[in-house]
Chains A and B, each alone.
Chain A
């Protein structure tokens, strides 16, 4: 359950950024979470409710953008879709694919008043 630590970190960064921008309330937060990253969005949502409690982001909505997985196939020399982190190339079936997208774990933007 490292999602709890991640969400505490999200709330901390969000509240700090809001204060730096002179905002009093956070209305929504948007995250980019890659489908190949090591977190479960379900757990993130669950932990978010606990982590935001008692902060200026207490009523902020959470939106999670899933970023699709992509990799560079060394044999096909092109970018291919990646279903799992160490999966095979969907075209040639070989395993020499280097992940290029899908492990994002980022706070994209937030809406404040």
Chain B
């Protein structure tokens, strides 16, 4: 029965009432099964919306949606308030990972960048410099191949490769499985090298302590403005390949200014994973953070 327009009696009245108010019955097609027209509407709703959406200025037309047809509590069909974040599933897995890392005093970093900025070289260098003082394990994310994990293993560190196949980012569920397989030692450092992509990994929390974005000086100072989400989500930016600066027109100051515009809290280190320049700052930060976290976990 439709309580929205008050025409419930029309069904009881049958043909007669329809004859009395033809305009009304015609407009709502209330004959026979009352809610039939809703099903019809729904079946065509999607393509409808799609057409509109292309016919106009590219924005989604919201005017034709369910809100205009159904009022909550006034239809036989129920409206359920969901009010849930789309990422809530991922965030749930991320919270599990984070709790595990905190409990075991594991300092986890989510390292993001575009492909070819030197993430793996940076990790290899850091592991070589720190391997006598702290245990470092690595989770490698790539669409295909286990080349990166092999490069990490050459340093003696343990590494596990996640191949995402078609996926453009790691999610907290994948990392949850990988950390179970890897079983990182309490008090160690876990470096999660994300899929090379400056867009998608920004949205997915993995349970890490910090996101670290790596940008190489061959990429252009305006990358933080072009891909703001990832720089906004990160706590540390590493400007890599600084040994190439004398050969380039790259303006370090401008790049940092752009990054700070997107994220005023972002810290920056200028390093060269190749020559080792600036690496001591990164390694000192890694070691200090890991030690602090491990001590806190022990006390707790």
Name A's B-contacting residues (CB within 8 A): 1-2, 5-6, 9-10, 12-14, 17-18, 21, 23, 27-28, 30-31, 38-39, 41-42, 45, 49, 59-66, 85-86, 95, 105-113
- Roughly how many angstroms separate A41 CA and B59 CA in the complex, as a whole number? 8
- Contact of B186 with A by CB under 8 A: no
- Contact of B38 with A by CB under 8 A: yes
- Contact of B146 with A by CB under 8 A: no
Residue ID in chain A nearest B53 by CB atoms? A45
- Contact of B171 with A by CB under 8 A: yes
Residue ID in chain A nearest B76 by CB atoms? A113
Residue pairs across A and B with Cβ atoms less than 8 A apart, 8 shown, are A28-B42, A31-B86, A38-B199, A39-B203, A45-B50, A59-B42, A61-B45, A111-B80
Residue ID in chain B nearest A29 by CB atoms? B82
- Contact of B1 with A by CB under 8 A: no
- Contact of B43 with A by CB under 8 A: yes
Residue ID in chain A nearest B230 by CB atoms? A38
Assuming A86-B228, A109-B81, what are 16 further A-B pairs, CB within 8 angstroms? A2-B168, A2-B199, A6-B203, A13-B84, A17-B82, A28-B66, A39-B203, A64-B62, A65-B62, A86-B225, A106-B83, A106-B85, A107-B83, A107-B85, A108-B81, A110-B82
Contact A111 to B77, CB < 8 A, known contacts A2-B168, A86-B261: yes
Q: Contact: B49 with A61, CB < 8 Å?
A: yes
Q: Contact: A66 with B77, CB < 8 Å?
A: no
Q: Which of B42, B78, B202, B204 contacts A61 (CB 8 A)?
A: B42
Residue ID in chain A nearest B167 by CB atoms? A5
* Distance from B68 Cβ to chain A, minimum over Cβ atoms (Å): 10
Number of A-B contacts (CB under 8 A): 133
Chain B residues near A64 (CB-CB < 8 A)? 60, 62
- Roughly how many angstroms separate A42 CA and B77 CA in the complex, as a whole number? 28
- Contact of B67 with A by CB under 8 A: yes
Chain B residues near A12 (CB-CB < 8 A)? 89
Chain A residues near B228 (CB-CB < 8 A)? 85-86
Residue ID in chain B nearest A21 by CB atoms? B80
Within 8 A of A (CB), among B66-104: 66-67, 70, 72, 77-90
Q: Contact: B84 with A62, CB < 8 Å?
A: no
- Roughly how many angstroms separate A112 CA and B81 CA in the complex, as a whole number? 11
- Roughly how many angstroms separate A64 CA and B49 CA in the complex, as a whole number? 10
Contact A27 to B86, CB < 8 A, known contacts A2-B199, A61-B45, A63-B62: no
Pairs of residues from A and B, 9 with the lowest C-beta to C-beta distance, nearest first: A63-B65, A2-B200, A61-B45, A107-B82, A38-B229, A28-B66, A64-B60, A105-B86, A41-B60
Mask for B190-218, Cβ within 8 A of A = 1, else 0? 00000000011011100000000000000
Contact A109 to B229, CB < 8 A, known contacts A2-B168, A62-B46, A65-B62: no
How many residues of chain B are within 8 Å of chain A by beta carbon? Answer: 46
Q: Contact: B169 with A2, CB < 8 Å?
A: yes
Contact A107 to B49, CB < 8 A, known contacts A23-B78, A113-B77: no
Contact A60 to B42, CB < 8 A, known contacts A106-B83, A109-B80: yes
Q: Contact: B45 with A28, CB < 8 Å?
A: yes
Q: Contact: A13 with B49, CB < 8 Å?
A: no
Q: Contact: B168 with A1, CB < 8 Å?
A: yes
* Distance from B31 Cβ to chain A, minimum over Cβ atoms (Å): 20
Q: Contact: B60 with A18, CB < 8 Å?
A: no
- Contact of B262 with A by CB under 8 A: yes
Chain B residues near A23 (CB-CB < 8 A)? 78, 80
Within 8 A of A (CB), among B14-62: 38, 42-43, 45-46, 49-50, 53, 58-60, 62
- Roughly how many angstroms separate A41 CA and B86 CA in the complex, as a whole number? 14
- Roughly how many angstroms separate A104 CA and B58 CA in the complex, as a whole number? 19
Contact A27 to B42, CB < 8 A, known contacts A18-B80, A21-B80, A110-B82: yes
* Distance from A42 Cβ to chain B, minimum over Cβ atoms (Å): 7
